[in-house]
Amino acid sequence: MEVQMARPFINSVKTILQQMTSIDVETEGDFQPENNDIISYGVTSIINFAGKVKGRLLLDMEPDLAVDIAGRLTNEAYSSPKEHMVLAAISEINNIIAGDANTFLNNTYGLGLRLTPPVVFTGNKAIISIPKIPSVSIACRTSSGKLKVNIAFEGGA
């Protein structure tokens, strides 16, 4: 999978989180092929997109980071990632990030990508696999916790 196609997503993660929550995202190393199942840090959001190619953005983060993001977006305090507004916040932020990256890809490569609604979930040691589709991951950290950004493309990207 071309890492070039993944870069707009990490750029959007950084820009959007900074603009909307003032959270700085630092990357650790570069994109690596994700060969294994992803062991969730605690809160995961998945958004798929399709057009001339199909793909998926997965954001996975520690519960404290999810709660912090939700708190900063709404100016409220939350105690658990299971709360509806925390899940809604992660869902919306994933939507905006994927939208931002897709806008760039559409304007640059004419891919005509459109998004599905986001899926968001929190569980106990959840593991996520996306059978057969190659993906790349980049590890990130913030002051509130760790974040992993995983991007998959199919259809010859």
Which residues of the shown chain bind another protein in the complex (CB under 8 A)? 16, 19-20, 37, 40, 44, 46-50, 54, 56, 58, 73-75, 82, 84-85, 87-89, 91-92, 95-96, 98-100, 102-103, 106-107, 112, 114-117, 119-133, 152, 154
Residue closer to another protein, measured from CB, 18 or 28: 18
Orientation of helix 84-109 relative to helix 3-21, angle to 10°: 130
Q: 47 - beta bridge partners?
A: 57
Six token digits for residue 127: 């593991």
What the block records as the tokens of 101 is: 């990256």
Quick check: helix, strand or coil at residue 60?
Answer: strand
3-state SS class at 43? strand
Q: By C-beta, is 17 or 147 nearer to another protein?
A: 17
Q: Which of 73, 77, 75 is nearest to 96 (CA)?
A: 73
Name the residue nearer to another protein (CB basis): 4 or 112.
Answer: 112
Report in angstroms how near the CB of residue 147 gets to another protein at its nearest.
17
Question: What is the rounded CA–CA span in Å between residue 24 and residue 51?
Answer: 31
Question: Smallest distance from the beta carbon of 6 to another protein, in angstroms?
Answer: 16
Distance in Å, CB of 76 to another protein, minimum? 8
Residue whose CB is less far from another protein, 30 or 123: 123
CB of 64 to another protein, least distance (A): 17
Distance of closest approach, residue 38 Cβ to another protein, in angstroms: 10
Closer CB to another protein, 29 or 107, in the complex: 107
Hey, what amino acid is at 143? S
Q: How many CA atoms lie within 13 A of 67 on its CB side?
A: 13
